[in-house]
Amino acid sequence: MAYWSLITYTRPDTSKDWYVQDTVDEIKAERYTSGEGIGRLLVALEESGKLTHYSISESNDGLKQYIKLGFDNKDTFDKFILDKETAQPQQTQERDQWLESFNITCDIQNTESEPTITL
């Protein structure tokens, strides 16, 4: 059964940059396949058919950013989370500091049902 993750960042105004400023293609590009980012993990999962969806979008008012990932099942999602923590151990701390510095909130929904994004 498919498994989904939706990360929603909300900023107070558009003068604050998003933590994830790259496009999907940039994240999966060669500079991320050095073993230090999640690009190599995403590409490997995509090539094996285990990552079924990956998108980054922004709300029409520019105050919300959505990162949506679809996996073939929850086991793949769980393994991705473990691998991600190994691939970029400092990323979570850096992200949390970034969010706090710019007063950006982060909401993560992990579910078996595909989440809906309202642009």
pLDDT digits (tens, 9 = 90+) for 30-82: 655 555 567 888 888 999 999 999 999 999 999 999 999 999 999 999 999 98
**CATH architecture, range 3-111:** 2-Layer Sandwich (3.30)
Q: Which residues pair with 69 in a beta bridge?
A: 5, 54
The phi and psi torsions of 114 (rounded to 5 degrees) equal -65, 125
pLDDT on residue 30: 60
C-beta separation of 102 from 16 below 8 A:
yes
Q: What is the CA radius of gyration of the chain?
A: 14
Does the pLDDT at position 16 exceed 60?
yes
pLDDT on residue 35: 55
pLDDT digits (tens, 9 = 90+) for 76-112: 999 999 888 776 666 777 888 999 999 999 999 999 9
pLDDT on residue 32: 52
The set of residues, in sequence order, having a beta carbon less than 8 Å from that of 43 and lying 6+ positions away, is: 28, 33
Number of H helices, E strands in the chain: 4, 4
